[in-house]
Structure 1
């Protein structure tokens, strides 16, 4: 059973009726309910398709945050063979919010940076809900340095509400660590591909998403601040998050039109959480295509392309 979002209530009601009919059949209180179940299944699928064909930016935000949505660890497990995690920033500590390491992606060696939120209470606490501290970004710099030295492409999976804003993180240089990670991503001489799989929140996301190609899942979001945060600043009312989500142009469709991202990876009807294997395979194909487009380029050409890509965003939005 899926957990349903508020706007999915019509689907939840139909699915509830299906479960009731199945329970009646199991108790022997109904002779044949299969025809009615099939009719309700068809109605449920049609209702779900209609709902997801016209999602608002706020509804997409809710889908991007869905607790059952595949996490970065699922993409690493599904796409990366012989993954070897590398821990620590060689300065302060290991940050579990960013999973980093080396592995093989469809026969090619790659370096992995993956922001992991966690899937249950224990893992969410371990990974700090995907919000990295300075040591997480310094670990990212270390991995990117290694990839650059050995000529290995970098693949990153982006999913964070933002960098951790705690006092300790600020004392250890959070802003400086984010800036250095962003700078390292911009200066890489190897191909780099980022995929926003859920939330791409602020500098916490861009620190590992300054890549040659930036991809987004169909119902992911990518923004400079959360809708709630923007509403609090603009209107001093976080309840207006829906208005902020619409105004900020945070959906994949808006960002593709604005030239902020390069392509959209299609999700199954009803979101990635309804068919995780399908969306992980779709993501793999999109990443493979992006890496193929960048293969054979010299380090100078890769840097030039990436520089022009990010500079053109400012020109497009001005």
Structure 2
């Protein structure tokens, strides 16, 4: 298990606990009471530390190298029923954007999401989760296929942003994202969006228009990353913590601003601390959201979605 800088007090106590257990196993000394004291202190430290996380610490947790990614969720939730679909039928298959059909129980869903890599080789293969225009066009193709067959759509957001390279702009990055936003507002099937990690800029918004938008507890959703915001405002990355605070990018901020509908609770310490529990919670949230939407007619579904987004940012003086 890798530890973030602010988690080092936990690491120290866990190391102490491991040493204490080893001493008990290798000698005849009774260390039961000592181990119990360390365990109690560890539990208290965890509770205190994770109860008072700053926005920047939540950003760090959302990027934790052990945190589950889109394919982890899909494979855990759907098992062998998931069938990945490829290509935008125009340019090529974008490995940073994945999608396909899967089942939860007897209900089929079209899953779409950004996929990051686990090591240097797979990170390059997945372009660090930054999709090109063909990725967004592939996502739209899959959404339209789902609409044709009356299959609900689930999108999983986890990206540092759309790919900002020259070739992406040449192939119409902005247009591809804008087209997705437009088409998603009028899809005639339920759309459930879940932010599972980083939700940055148009890269996230390109697959982020949903009837129900849910955020995991230790994720963020913003027009810009704290580092980029800091570099623009202060010409330095040193002020990323202040930028994270000012951007109001945490799940609780988003819920307060009515930009997301629900916060999905994570295990103490983050989704990576208890993956199975996280997968079950997310699966239940998808089913619950679909149950609330499945009785609506296509016309009511679109009208309700339009109203939801029209009301965002409205200010009454």
Work out which of the residue numbers 61, 65, 79 in structure 2 matches 1:67. 65
Runs of 4+ deviating beyond 4 Å: none
**Residue number in structure 2 paired with 1:10:** 9
Cα displacement string for residues 209-236 of structure 1 (whole angstroms, at most 9, x for unaligned residues): 1011100001110010000011111121
Partner Cα separation in structure 2 for residue 113 and residue 24 of structure 1: 49
SS at match of 2:112: strand
**Residue number in structure 2 paired with 1:185:** 184
Shift of 1:24: 3.1
**Residue number in structure 2 paired with 1:50:** 48
Q: Which shifted more, 118-127 or 43-52?
A: 118-127
**Residue number in structure 1 paired with 2:196:** 197
Partner Cα separation in structure 1 for residue 222 and residue 266 of structure 2: 20
Cα displacement string for residues 6-49 of structure 1 (whole angstroms, at most 9, x for unaligned residues): 11121111112122223434443x62223312221221121011
**Counterparts of 1:1-318 in structure 2 under 5 Å?**
2-28=1-27, 31-81=29-79, 82-315=81-314
Partner Cα separation in structure 2 for residue 275 and residue 91 of structure 1: 40
Partner Cα separation in structure 2 for residue 80 and residue 301 of structure 1: 29
Q: Which shifted more, 63-72 or 115-124?
A: 115-124
Partner Cα separation in structure 1 for residue 275 and residue 316 of structure 2: 34
Instruction: Provide closer, same or farther for how the CA distance between residues 317 and 95 of structure 1 changes in structure 2, counting only shifts above 3 A.
Output: farther
On the 8 A contact 1:117/1:129 being kept in 2, the answer is yes
Normalization by structure 1: what TM-score? 0.96
Q: Which shifted more, 131-140 or 308-317?
A: 308-317
Partner Cα separation in structure 1 for residue 289 and residue 75 of structure 2: 20
Structure 2: gaps (5+ residues): none
Partner Cα separation in structure 1 for residue 46 and residue 211 of structure 2: 35
Cα displacement string for residues 47-74 of structure 1 (whole angstroms, at most 9, x for unaligned residues): 0111111111011111111111111111
Cα displacement string for residues 261-318 of structure 1 (whole angstroms, at most 9, x for unaligned residues): 0000000111111001101111111111111110111111111111111111121599
Instruction: Provide closer, same or farther for how the CA distance between residues 9 and 316 of structure 1 changes in structure 2, counting only shifts above 3 A.
Output: farther
